[in-house]
A and B are shown apart, each in its own frame.
Chain A
Amino acid sequence: MAFARSRGARIRSNAFAYANLAPYVFFVLFPFYFMAVTSFKSNAELYNLKSIPFWIQTGVITEHYTFLFAKTEFVTWMKNSLLVAVVATTVSVVISILAGYSLARLRFRGAASFGTAIFISYLVPPTLLFLPLSQVVVWLGLADSVYALMVTYPTFLVPFCTWLLMGYFRTIPREVEECALVDGATRMQTLSKIVLPMALPGIICAVLFSFTLCWNEFIYALTFISQSGNKTAVVGVTSDLIRGDIYFWGSLMAGALLASIPIVIIYVLFLDYYVSGLTAGAVKG
């Protein structure tokens, strides 16, 4: 048979694939590796042009990390990030479940146009709205506080989650719901007791993506907040460890690494959900 290839050919072809993937894997991982190496290297070695940048020759040090905890508000930033991400994610996912179910399942006039509106707002990049939103936040009396972020993050989370969840709700067979309604369940009970458990993978996906998007958000957090104690981890690390032209490279890399770790942990635990969420064709690139 033509395509029952020999073992040798298959091994050759796989070796070819590995050989091509290797440089890419290196390209992907090197910045993270370099971050880690830099964060444990003494300043004397870091700023010595004769030293080899790829590894540590004069001993591993942890001063850059202690600096982060003792001299900056790093712990506060992490707490702020966590708080904002949890609140914004919860609010957004609840709103999105309701809207997504309604648009995917219920028949009423205008449902299609609402669906289109959600889709369009999903495509609006945050970079288009940060200036007017910075004024809205002032009018709401939330300027320079973490509440400003809790209020504004749902603007990009809700369209995204609604769109994602609509896809999941559509896969649930209608008959299941109809049975529940015939048996006397109210519509709300049908949604909470029958539909939600069946859409659980979709909801987990929405929660994971929302949390990640909140944690990683940059432009709103940079624009709306100026006090160091109210910053999120991403903004705190990128702005407070650079003084004018002076970059605290060791601590910068230590902070970048530590602030990424919560996301890495979640990512490793739920890798398959991230992949399926992406391939649901609904993620901003």
Chain B
Amino acid sequence: MAVGPRVLEAAGFPRPGRLSRLREWWEQEHVFGYGLIVPAIVLLVTLIAFPFGMAIWFSLSDYWVGSPGGFVGLTNYREILGNETFRQTVQNSFVFTSIAVSLKVVLGVWLAMLLARNLRFKRVIRGIVLLPFVIPTALSTLAWLWMFDSLYSVVNWTAIRLHLINAPGPNWLGQSTYAMAAVITVNVWRGLPFFAITVLAGLMAVPREYLEAAEVDGATSWGRFWHVTLPLIKPVLAVVILFSTIFTFGDFNIVQVLTRGGPVNTTHLFATLAYQVGLNGGNLGQGAAISLFIFPLLALVVFFQLQYVRKE
């Protein structure tokens, strides 16, 4: 007598139906692995890779809002490169990024060293320090906009009362150098916490014994920092600097709220110029070409980052 399926099942064998075969297939490590990653890949392809391709197509075509245009080759790039505003933007971006990132590195390490001490209100202070990073940037920048107001600036009011400057003081957002200084100040204010807290984590990993040994050997506190601490936090610092460079370079919120690129385009960054040309002006082709200029830097940073990740 043949053994029926019921008996097999009772003996612990699964019913050899289609469902169980499907289950067996699904339980294989590689099938399950691919299965779980499908939603993420679909998203990356449709909403990141595809739009990225579109951006390239836009930049090579005569595409305006509401009227898809034809292929025009490198015309957009040629026009942009010959444009005074764009050249100003390139210069702004490098000035803005280099100064802001340098300030964040120096102040961030300094701040992290202070936070690493065993202070009484350690947790509260850390909480406060991180605040600008958590609050919506566009909203906190509104407060800065008001603080830099041409007529009622609290910064000028205070400086005049302290006899640091003569009335009426600089028109912060109306003069190019001051406007750049204002934009950098807000960027540092908002980005410093990220540096401080990440470097702090790096500092916590520095073995106490090293510092104590250096102290026994008579190293000054500066010597201990320069020869012991700094080399040990270098990996963390490198990652933070790379991240910060990308996102400072691609910044939009602060400039858009504070100056909209003005006065006379002296604070425009790639993103704000792309917004102005592509959306306010409706010239999607040129807008896309402008925002794609962020890409070479991004590629460079990704290259170094991957190199670094592999080495670790």
Chain A contacts to B: CB under 8 angstroms? 2-3, 13-14, 17-18, 20-21, 24-25, 27-29, 31-32, 34-35, 38, 46-47, 49, 53-54, 95-96, 98-99, 101-103, 106-109, 111, 114, 116-121, 123-136, 151-152, 154-155, 158-159, 162, 186-188, 212, 215-216, 218-219, 222-223, 234-235, 237-238, 247, 249, 252-253, 255-256, 259-260, 263-264, 267-268, 271, 274-275, 278-279, 281, 283-285
- Chain B 40-69: CB-based contact to A (< 8 A → 1; otherwise 0): 110110011011101100100000000000
**A-B contacts, CB under 8 A, total:** 284
- Counting CB contacts under 8 A, is B136 at the interface? yes
A263: contacting residue among B26, B119, B134, B250, CB under 8 A: B134
Give the most central of A151, A187, A252: most B CB within 10 Å. Answer: A187
Contacts of A222 in B (CB 8 A): 256
Contacts of B194 in A (CB 8 A): 278, 283, 285
Task: Assess the A17–B117 pair: CB atoms within 8 A.
Answer: yes
Task: Assess the B275–A130 pair: CB atoms within 8 A.
Answer: yes
Task: Assess the B123–A271 pair: CB atoms within 8 A.
Answer: yes
Task: Assess the B136–A154 pair: CB atoms within 8 A.
Answer: no
Query: CA separation between A281 and B197, bound complex, in Å?
Result: 10
Task: Assess the A218–B36 pair: CB atoms within 8 A.
Answer: no
Q: A127-B274, A162-B40 are in contact. List 9 more A-B contacts (CB 8 A).
A: A18-B119, A24-B111, A35-B146, A107-B30, A125-B294, A129-B48, A154-B47, A158-B43, A285-B243
Task: Assess the B125–A3 pair: CB atoms within 8 A.
Answer: no
Contacts of A132 in B (CB 8 A): 51-52, 54-55, 58, 288
Contacts of B52 in A (CB 8 A): 124, 128-129, 132
Give the most central of B37, B110, B189, B198: most A CB within 10 Å. Answer: B37
- A103-B37, A123-B301, A127-B294 known; A21 vs B114 contact (CB < 8 Å): yes
Task: Assess the B37–A102 pair: CB atoms within 8 A.
Answer: yes
**Chain A interface, >50% SS class:** helix
Query: CA separation between A117 and B275, bound complex, in Å?
Result: 27
- A17-B114, A99-B40, A252-B146 known; A218 vs B29 contact (CB < 8 Å): no
Query: CA separation between A3 and B146, bound complex, in Å?
Result: 49
Query: CA separation between A264 and B137, bound complex, in Å?
Result: 13
* CB of A14 to closest CB in B, whole Å: 6
- Counting CB contacts under 8 A, is B1 at the interface? no
Contacts of A255 in B (CB 8 A): 139
Task: Assess the A281–B239 pair: CB atoms within 8 A.
Answer: yes
Query: CA separation between A84 and B26, bound complex, in Å?
Result: 34
- Counting CB contacts under 8 A, is B131 at the interface? yes
